[in-house]
Structure 1
Amino acid sequence: MKTSHLSLAALLVSIVSVAGCSDRHSSSRKNAENTPATASAPRADEWLGKWTGPEGTFLELAGGHGKYDVTVQNLDGPRKFEGRYADGGIEFDRDGTREIIRATDGAETGMKWLVGKKNCLTVRTGEGYCRD
């Protein structure tokens, strides 16, 4: 009787150990999948280059793999910012405000000049840039 209890206890310890190792492995794999360089940054990397807005405005993105140089040309001239992958887009700080560049269509930019365009990036409503 003692032998069967010991065997059962050894079996339970083995199962718990294997399950624990399995959980650690899957959780580290999930964390790796959520890092910018492996999962989502390549989508943002597709946005590299120049995007045009109305009246000579543009957005230009350079870099990649989760770190970006963001140039915004508005009516006051060009400004440069350091961007980073975050929340499915490219995040940067402008004048104390956290901005996120995200993929949209022209209607979602909130700009009548861009309605009907399909391939756009929006910083905030009323500030968008598209590729024709």
Structure 2
Amino acid sequence: MTMRFPLLLAPLALAACAQPAPDPSPSGTPTERVGPVAAPRDEPGGGQMRGNAVEPAATAALEERYLGRWVGVEGMYLNVTRREAGGVTLDMQWDLDHRGTFDGSVTAEGLRFLRNGIAETAVPGNGDATGLKWLAGKKDCLIVRPGEGYCRP
């Protein structure tokens, strides 16, 4: 009986070790920066996902999910359009003072784009996950970071 007790605790100990470390930055903004944004690879495979890259057939279906207008708070917005050369274009106002247009790509995680030299990813979620009370309760949203999110109108 005494041999089973340590065996029962082993999975709990491993699960505790697998939790992400808390963010040490004082602002709550993640300090980790991601490398340059890469466009999806054009490889054979019938639209299967491989790692972070999304195959062409799957890319078209994912792009359709993201295309169109997304609305934030206080006049913020995100318009996603398809580029002729592949990928997407993000036209956005992300705070009261900043607006811009960025080339992006569709990945398994969401929309990746480079904004002011920082690689960002807009991931699918809901209004509650944005941390913005005016988007709470919305079901179809994109979240760039806490406090920056856009939902379908």
TM-score, structure 2 length as denominator?
Answer: 0.60
Matched, 1:39 2:54: no
- Equivalent residue runs for 1:25-64 within 5 Å: 29=45, 32-34=47-49, 35-63=54-82
Q: Confirm or deny: 8 A CA contact 2:63 2:82 kept in the other structure.
A: no
- Give the partner amino acid of 1:57: M
- Give the partner amino acid of 2:67: L
| Percent pairwise identity | 38
The corresponding residue for 1:105 is 126
The corresponding residue for 1:17 is none
The corresponding residue for 2:136 is 115
Which gives a bigger RCO, structure 1 or 2 (Cα 8 Å, sep 6+)? Answer: 2
Which structure: greater helix fraction?
A: 1
Q: What SS class does the counterpart of residue 51 from structure 1 fall into?
A: strand
Aligned length: 104
Which structure: greater strand fraction?
A: 1
* Cα deviations by residue, 1:4-63 (Å, 9 ceiling, x for unpaired): xxxxxxxxxxxxxxxxxxxxxxxx647x52233212441232221111111111011000
Matched, 1:92 2:116: no
Displaced runs of 4+ in structure 1, greater than 3 A? none
1:77 and 1:94, CA in 2 relative to 1: closer, same or farther beyond 3 A? closer
The corresponding residue for 1:69 is 89
Query: Which region of structure 1 is more displaced relative to structure 2, 52-61 or 75-84?
Result: 75-84
RMSD: 2.1
Paired with 1:79 and 1:108, the residues of 2 have a C-alpha distance of 24
Per-residue deviation at 1:110? 1.5
Q: What SS class does the counterpart of residue 46 from structure 1 fall into?
A: helix
1:33 and 1:105, CA in 2 relative to 1: closer, same or farther beyond 3 A? same
TM-score, structure 1 length as denominator?
Answer: 0.69
Unpaired stretches in structure 2, ≥5 consecutive residues: 1-43
1:61 and 1:83, CA in 2 relative to 1: closer, same or farther beyond 3 A? same
- Give the partner amino acid of 1:53: G
Q: What SS class does the counterpart of residue 137 from structure 2 fall into?
A: coil
Instruction: Say which one has the larger Rg.
Output: 1
- Give the partner amino acid of 1:118: K
Unpaired stretches in structure 1, ≥5 consecutive residues: 1-27
Paired with 2:67 and 2:151, the residues of 1 have a C-alpha distance of 12
